[in-house]
Structure 1
Amino acid sequence: MKKVPAFLTDLTAYFYILLFFYASISKIMDFENFQVQIGQSPLLSAYAGMVSYGVILLELLIVGCLSLSKFRLAGLYASTALMCAFTVYIYLILNYSDFVPCSCGGILEKLGWREHLVFNIGCVILGCIAVLCSASAKKILIRRTAVLLISAVFSVVAVLILFLSSEYIIRKENNFTRRFLTNFLLEPEIITTLDKDAYFAGISRDTLYLGYRSTPLLLTSVHLKTHAISTFRIYPDLGEHRFKNLRIAVRYPFYYLYDGTVPIIYRGGIGQRRPEVISYQNAYFSQLAVLDSTSFALRTQSSTTHAFTLAQLDFKQLPMLKLYPKALQPQLDGIFDLDGQLVANYGSSGSAVYAYAYRNQFIVINDRFKNIRRQQTIDQNKKAAVQTLRLSNGDYKMKSPPLKVNDAVSAFGNYVFIVSEIRGKYEPVSIHKNRKTIDVYDTLLNEYAGSFYIPEKKIDEVLATDGRILILHNQTLTQYKFRKSFR
């Protein structure tokens, strides 16, 4: 009778040797892909570097123990504990993950996650039987049972700790490990082809508004469901003003015509061809975001330091213009290092976002400047990589091209969408050749929400709404709908 348990123990050991040796060698041969898979794991993303090396070393160590009869029992304990950890990991993936990633690969790459779970449970049971059946006395049986229970509890607790801490790090203290939202976008829908100088003017429910830099008095509306397009011309009283860059912004039910080089803002109702002047000589500015019908967020320049400054123009308060000099924090010259994009939040009245172009931060403006706060993006570029040269006349000029971090940006409700120019950890170079990455941030929870790819080499502008994101690229307007809402 003693030969049967011994035979079972040896057979189980050989099975584990084959399983772990093949698994470890497969990981080593395709290590980059294995590390990418761990990096995209919804549970272990923050520890991809440590886990990718640790799992391989542990599997090889177990193979060594199982191969030597002196250490075979220890190897069986470790094998059972490791398979228990893998089982808990898969259970968490299936029940507590936002998405289910691709298979782990290796000898079981054809199995689905649920089949993998059943296989792992079977391995745990087999390991327990092999350890317990070879016990020659009751005391040994009790001792081995205790060791199995302790090792199982340890492995379960270890996976749970990694899971919980990884979630916190990824969302709150991200070390530039992206979590891609699998199958998040539906098939792209090309709506129309536009002139090369088109830009997003605004959106209201299912109607998108477009302006044109070369024909600044034309406003186009596009119905996103029927794709119906209509254009009407605006006839403002331009007077003797010498405009350089007239633009249109829409915040339904009004449109606004402005050029910050001339301190004037027009407003008209949608469909009204002759807008009225609502602001004159109140402020010069370089960017404008409409907060509501009487309030605007501006990017202007300080008259004393000449640095970029955020400001609010509000017709309901005195003085109407209020500067917020501490909102933008200079690192170098106060101009190039503070460059960025100011956009209105179309999902929240009185809100806007300013995203720095060359550093990992954006500024959230809520309640018409009553609440201003900063939030980090997940890349590690805390300081703008900008080299400037001060000329004799006091002006600054760039000495070399800067490292751009955040490109196009859009805000809707509690979420900010940023086209990132930087490749994250564990992301192959090949995957970035013909696509752009959009990172999503939750401003309510002050955390990173996830990322997704857009299959375009270049993105000119993005505009997100509840349930879709619109892309301007290569004179084409494309709509991507989300499979599920962020809310």
Structure 2
Amino acid sequence: MNSRSRFKNYFIEAVSLFYILLFVYAAISKVLEFENFQAQLGQSSIIGAYAGIVSYSIIIIELLVSVMLVIPSFKLRGLFSSFILMSLFTVYIFIILNFTSNIPCSCGGILEKMTWKVHLIFNIISLILAGLALLFFDQNGRRTKLRLGAIFVSAAVILSVLNISSQYFIHKENPFIRKFVHMSCNKVSTAVLYNKNLYFAGSDKKTIYLADRLAPLYITAYDTALKIKKNFKIELKDDKYPFRSVQVKIVPPYFLVLDGTIPIIYRGKISDWKADILMKESGYYFSNAAVIDSVHIAFRTQNEKSGENILGIFSFKNGLQSSLNDSLLEKQIDGFFDTDGMMNYSVDNKIFIYLYYYRNEFVVTDDKLQLRFRGNTIDTNKIAKLKPVFIKEIGRRKLASPDYIVNRLSTVRRDQLFVNSMLSGRYEDKQMWKTTSIVDVYDLSSKTYISSFYIYNANDGRMRDMLVVDNNVYVIAGTELCRYTLQKNLKIKL
């Protein structure tokens, strides 16, 4: 055997040993951190929808290829298999770098510490080594080159198809796999609040307004950067009523004070914070409300006969007028607890959204409560998991089992719905649920899921309320008011 042949043999053995060590190390690292490995694959926009089968397949294939490289009679097949795997890995990273949002590397071990660009260079070098070993192994160099070219092109086509199909499944037919776009929501400033009873009452382009559940006539206002703070007190023209459930809604230049247990509604202007009675006792009792404009308010009340929740609108344009729509909320169990939910209104798009607490559904209507469509959040909880009972002694309905909340908080920006979900998706890091709240974002125009982001807990509590204004997310967590900026796919043109 001449020196050239010996060199080729040594090179083939060296490359085979390199791939054996690489694949065995990578496979073992993935097994040791399998839950994290699967979670990272689940965040991939390319193969996220197939993370389950892909996570197992990669480990098995890496170990099988390593065995093939050890056995002399299977070495050629092992090298071709190594080239195929490395082609797929290389094209995958190229797509990540150029066509998708950045996600964590899912290779395991020290390979995970590499940046994407360094990893791409490493893969290209590894690919070249496998290609040279195959050329040295096979005497027919032209045939081998054609095979290698076909393999690489096939890898590019396969991953492109997977990318398109995975995007479709995640955004249109989501199997409860969340998409987290790295750095799409970043915390930029914080203000300290004086108690834990504050909630968002409204906003305009320059100011964020907070109201107090225990002292409802006191308003705290911050500029959008959370640097300037002002305090105001609402003056009611006639306040001799047994208030029990006061809500303050601020839609500049107006503000409203509502209590559906009386029922009564005040309206005033934020220029002087003085309010006159807009509606008193002559309207329906209501348990929730959303301001459409200064003379229209959507509300939730109960059917007098069945006690089920229904939606309606108060109009004050020509005196008090009210209309009900009893077909919007759909009963599953009792029509009361199972239809409980949150109300949001988009002034920019003139759409009203009712999001259920206990199931993965929301209702979208126009500003007159005429149904546009029914949508679903990405979780799979279609039926409310509740057990309501009626207590005759006190004449009230209660839940006999702990409530199973699906959607906890919500807000709207133009045609986008932001939902704080209480359910963990597939392939998610369980530790993150202990320190964060997850917000899912939906495009109501295209009826698709966009992506999700994390809101971290404050030192003394998790997120209690949220508000989105332009490209800012404002969050109340514990005794902190935090501002996050939306970037990348969640940033809109102003």
| Residue type of the alignment partner of 1:322 | S
TM-superposed CA distance for 1:177, in Å, is 1.9
Q: Secondary structure at the match of 1:275?
A: strand
Distance in 1 (CA, whole Å) between partners of 2:452 and 2:47 is 16
Q: Match for 1:105 among 103, 108, 113?
A: 108
Contact 1:194/1:477 (<8 A) preserved: no
Query: Per the alignment, in what secondary structure is the counterpart of residue 338 of structure 2?
Result: helix
Q: 1:48 corresponds to which letter in structure 2?
A: A
Contact 2:440 2:451 in 1 (8 A): yes
Equivalences for residues 197-276 of structure 1 within 5 A:
197-225=197-225, 227-238=227-238, 241-276=241-276
User: CA separation of 1:22/1:102 partners in 2, compared to 1, >3 Å: closer, same or farther?
Assistant: closer
Which of 116, 120, 123 is residue 117 of structure 1 equivalent to? 120
* Greater alpha carbon shift after TM alignment, 272-281 vs 202-211: 272-281
Distance apart, 1:147 and its partner CA: 3.2
Q: Which deviates further from its counterpart, 433-442 or 309-318?
A: 309-318
What code does the residue aligned with 2:356 have?
Y
Contact 1:103 1:113 in 2 (8 A): no
| TM-score normalised to structure 2 length | 0.90
Output one character per residue of 1:60-104: Cα deviation in whole Å (capped at 9) or x when no partner: 111121111211111111111111111110011001112343463
Cα offset for 1:399? 0.6
Quote the Cα distance in structure 2 between the aligned partners of 1:483 and 1:164: 23
Letter in 1 for 2:277: V
CA contact (8 A) 2:473 2:483 kept: yes
Deviates more, 1:118-127 or 1:149-158: 149-158
Provide Cα deviations, 1:228-281, integer angstroms capped at 9, x if missing partner.
333333333337643322221011111011111223322211123432333342
Give the counterpart letter for 1:265 in structure 2.
I
* Counterpart contact for 1:417–1:440, Cα < 8 Å: yes
Alignment-derived partner of residue 300 in structure 1: 301
Q: Where does structure 2 lack aligned partners over 5 or more consecutive residues? A: none
Residue aligned with 2:134, SS: helix
Distance 1:362 1:41 in 2: 27
Could you say what the CA RMSD is over the residues aligned between the two structures, in angstroms?
A: 2.4
Which residue identity is paired with 1:38?
Answer: L
Could you list the per-position Cα deviations for residues 195-244 of structure 1 after superposition, in whole angstroms to 9, with x for gaps in the alignment?
Answer: 33222110111201122223223333222336333333333333764332
Match of 1:42 in 2: 45
Q: Which residue of 2 aligns with 1:450?
A: 451
Aligned mates of 2:27, 2:277 — CA distance in 1 = 71
Contact 1:171 1:448 in 2 (8 A): yes
Letter paired with 1:185? C
Q: For residue 436 of structure 1, give the secondary structure of its aligned residue in structure 2.
A: strand
Looking at structure 2, the residues matched to 237 and 404 of structure 1 have their Cα atoms a distance apart, in angstroms, of 39
In the TM superposition, 1:28-427 aligns within 5 A as 28-102=31-105, 104-136=107-139, 140-225=140-225, 227-238=227-238, 241-280=241-280, 281-316=282-317, 320-345=321-346, 348=348, 350-392=350-392, 395-427=396-428
Deviation at 1:41, TM superposition (A): 2.3
Aligned-residue offset at 1:483: 4.1
Q: Secondary structure at the match of 1:422?
A: coil
Question: 2:491 matched to which residue of 1?
Answer: 486
Does structure 1 conserve the Cα–Cα contact (< 8 Å) formed by 2:331 and 2:339?
A: yes
Matched residue count: 483
SS of structure 2 residue aligned to 1:75: helix
Q: Distance in 1 between matches of 2:239 and 2:375?
A: 43
Cα distance change on mapping 1:374 and 1:317 into 2, 3 Å: farther
Corresponding residue for residue 433 of structure 1: 434
Tell whether the 8 Å contact from 2:37 to 2:106 is kept in structure 1 after alignment: no
Task: Kindly state the Cα deviation for residue 374 of structure 1 after the two structures are TM-superposed.
Answer: 2.2
Q: Give distance in 2, aligned partners of 1:50 and 1:454.
A: 30
> Post-superposition shift, 1:438?
1.8
Q: 1:71 to 1:273 in 2, by over 3 A?
A: closer
Percent identical:
36
